[in-house]
Amino acid sequence: MRKELYSLPWGTDNYLTDEQFYNRVDELTFISNLLKSTETTSPPTIMIPGFRGVGKTVLLKKIQKYLNNDYLICYLDLSLSYFYQIRNLNEINLMQFFYMSWIEACEKKGFNMSLDKIKKFFKTNKFKLKQIENFGEYPVPIPEKEIDNTELMKFVLNLPQKIYENHKNDIKGVIMIIDEFQALKDLGDGLNGFLWLFRSIIQSQKNVAYVFSGSLNSKDEIIDKMASKNGAFGGRMLTIEIHPFSKDTTENYLNEKVPELLFDKEGFERFYSCTQGIPHYINTFANILPKNIVLNKNDIQNEFKNILPILADHLRQQWAVLDLTQQFILTTLINNPLKRKNIGEKIAMSPNSLSRPLRKLLNAGLIENNNGEYSISDHILKAWLNQEYEKYGIFPFRL
Ligand SMILES: Nc1ncnc2c1ncn2[C@@H]1O[C@H](COP(=O)(O)OP(=O)(O)OP(=O)(O)O)[C@@H](O)[C@H]1O
Ligand SMILES: [Mg+2]
C-alpha cells in the first residue's frame, strides 16, 4: 500500500502513534528499565531536561503507554495548572493539583474513589489537616481556615505510596511524571524550601518513582537546585538529557517517513541547520516543503522565510509579553553572545540594573548564560527577529 503523503505529525502534537514516533530506543529502554526497578528496590528519581520541542513530552507519553498495564502512572503537566496559568502558583494549590491528578489516575485505573466528594473539598484551597475523614478508601482533608503547608504536602505526597499499598496485587508500583517542571520557578524564594521538603517526604517511599521533565538546558539553575551534589536530591537524582536528532538520524527519519521529500546535499545541510535537529521544527518544516522535486540550498532558504513565522509562533507569544528592557536585551544578543557589561553599554543601563531582566529571560528559557556570556537559546527566535527587522526596519516591540 502506498504511504500517505505528508504523514509526519505536526510540531504541536502532544501524542504520537507508534508509527509516528521515531527512534529514541536507547532513552526508552534506559528510562523504562529504571522505572521498572520500583518492583525490587527503592526507585530512582529521574530528571529529563531538554531543549524546547526536542521530544520530551512525546517520549514520556510513550513510556506511560508502555508501562501503563503494570503501573499506576500519574502524568502531570504543571503548565496546565489553573493557578500557574493565572500566575498564582503556590505550594498549596500545587498540592491540590497533585492530589486531583492522583485521583484522576486512580479513577482511570478503576481504583475506587468517591470522587465527587473529594473534588468538592478541593474546590476551596483552605484546609485544616487535623481533621481527616475517610471517604471510600482514602482520607480526605476537611476544609477549614487554617493552612499548614508541611502537613498538606506530607498528606498529598504520601498518597501514592498508600495507594500502592492498597493495590499491591494490581500494580507493580506507581510512577509520577511531572512535565514542564520549570513552572516551579514561579514559587520564587519558596522554591528551595519546597524542593527540600518534597525530597524529604518522598525519600522513604519504596514503591513510587518520580520523573521530572522540562524545557531547560542541563545548566539551568533549577536543575542545580535539585540534581547537583548539594541540591535537594543530593546527587541521588539521575539526569538524562534528551538531545536533538543528529544529522544522520534526521536523514534516516525523513527518508523513512517522507520518501517524497527530496534534497540535494547542500539542500539537506541547509534544512538541518535551519531546524537544528529539533523534531518540532523538523516535522513542521518538512510538512510544508514541496514534495517530489529535488530541493537545493536556495529552495530551502526561500521556504524557510515563509515558514519562519509559523516555526516561531510559540516564541512570538513569549516575546509579546516581555517588557521593553527584556526585549532590548534580546535584540542586543541577536548577532553574538555578550557579557552583562557589554549588554549594559549597548542599551545604556548599569550592569546591576540588568540583574532582574536577565533573570526573567533566563527563567523563561529565552537566553542562556555560558560562563558569564549571555546568548539567545533558540536560533529560530534570532532568525524571526532578524526577519521582522529586515521586513519593517524595526523590531516588533509592540507586537
Ligand atoms: N521521537 C519522535 N519522532 C517523531 N517526531 C517527534 C519525536 N519527538 C518529537 N517529535 C516531534 O516534535 C514535537 C515536539 O515534541 P514534544 O512536545 O514532545 O517536545 P518537548 O520536548 O516536550 O517540548 P516542550 O519543551 O515545548 O514541551 C512533536 O509534536 C513531534 O511533532
Ligand atoms: Mg513538553
Pocket test for ligand 1, best of 58, 178, 311, 381 (most atoms within 8 A of CB): 58
Mean pLDDT of 19-23: 95
Pick the more confident residue, 147 or 163.
163
pLDDT at 116 over 60: no
Closest CA to 304 of 277, 270, 335, 278: 270
What's the pLDDT at 264? Answer: 98
> Residue 216 C-alpha to ligand 2 middle, in angstroms?
11
Helices and strands of the chain, counted as H and E runs: 17, 12
> Residue 97 C-alpha to ligand 2 middle, in angstroms?
18
Nearest-atom number in ligand 1 for the CA of 215 is 25
> Residue 245 C-alpha to ligand 1 middle, in angstroms?
11
Q: Kindly report the CA angle at 104 between 102 and 110, in degrees rounded to 5?
A: 105
Ligand nearest to the CA of 365: 1
Pick the more confident residue, 268 or 136.
268
pLDDT at 59 over 80: yes
User: What are the strands of the beta sheet with 45-50, ordered from one edge?
Assistant: 71-77, 173-179, 208-215, 45-50, 237-239
Half-sphere exposure of 18 (CA within 13 A, CB side): 4
Percent of the chain whose pLDDT exceeds 90: 67
Q: How confident is the model at residue 2 (pLDDT cuts 50, 70, 90)?
A: very low
Virtual torsion, Cα 93, 99, 103, 105, nearest 10 deg = 100
What's the pLDDT at 1? Answer: 42
Mean pLDDT of 73-97: 90
Ligand nearest to the CA of 27: 1
pLDDT digits (tens, 9 = 90+) for 258-294: 999 999 999 999 999 999 999 999 999 999 999 999 9
What's the pLDDT at 195? Answer: 94
| Protein residues with CB under 6 Å of any ligand 1 atom | 9-14, 16, 20-24, 50, 52-58, 215, 279-280, 283
> Residue 249 C-alpha to ligand 1 middle, in angstroms?
15
Assigned C-alpha cell, 335: 548577532
pLDDT at 7 over 80: no
> Residue 243 C-alpha to ligand 2 middle, in angstroms?
13
Question: Which amino acid does the sequence have at 183?
Answer: A
Distances (CA, A) of 234 to 70, 199, 215, 230: 29, 9, 22, 5
pLDDT at 124 over 80: no
pLDDT at 122 over 80: no
Mean pLDDT of 310-322: 95
Q: Kind and range of the H or E element at 267?
A: helix 265-275
> Residue 229 C-alpha to ligand 1 middle, in angstroms?
30
pLDDT at 249 over 50: yes
Ligand nearest to the CA of 256: 1
Mean pLDDT of 67-90: 92
Ligand nearest to the CA of 13: 1
What's the pLDDT at 225? Answer: 86
What's the pLDDT at 220? Answer: 83
Ligand nearest to the CA of 285: 1
What's the pLDDT at 135? Answer: 52
* Of the candidate ranges 119-128, 144-153, 346-355, the one whose mean pLDDT is the lowest: 119-128
Pocket test for ligand 1, best of 54, 182, 218, 288 (most atoms within 8 A of CB): 54
Assigned C-alpha cell, 252: 534516516
**CA pair distance 54, 169, nearest whole angstrom:** 37
Mean pLDDT of 242-249: 97
Pocket test for ligand 1, best of 57, 213, 257 (most atoms within 8 A of CB): 57
- Listed in sequence order, the residues at least 6 apart from 44 whose beta carbon sits closer than 8 Å to its beta carbon are 34, 37, 209, 236, 237, 238
**Model pTM score:** 0.90
Q: So what CATH class is 322-390?
A: mainly alpha
Are the C-beta atoms of residues 384 and 308 closer than 8 Å to each other?
yes
25-110+148-239 folds as Rossmann fold (3.40.50)
> Residue 133 C-alpha to ligand 2 middle, in angstroms?
37
Q: How confident is the model at residue 128 (pLDDT cuts 50, 70, 90)?
A: low
Q: Kind and range of the H or E element at 16?
A: none
Question: DSSP label at 206?
Answer: S
What's the pLDDT at 44? Answer: 83
What's the pLDDT at 141? Answer: 59
pLDDT at 80 over 80: yes
What's the pLDDT at 130? Answer: 46
- Averaged pLDDT score across all residues of the chain: 89
Percent of the chain whose pLDDT exceeds 70: 89
> Residue 250 C-alpha to ligand 1 middle, in angstroms?
14
Pocket test for ligand 1, best of 182, 280, 282, 287 (most atoms within 8 A of CB): 280
* Of the candidate ranges 107-121, 137-151, 192-206, 270-284, the one whose mean pLDDT is the lowest: 137-151
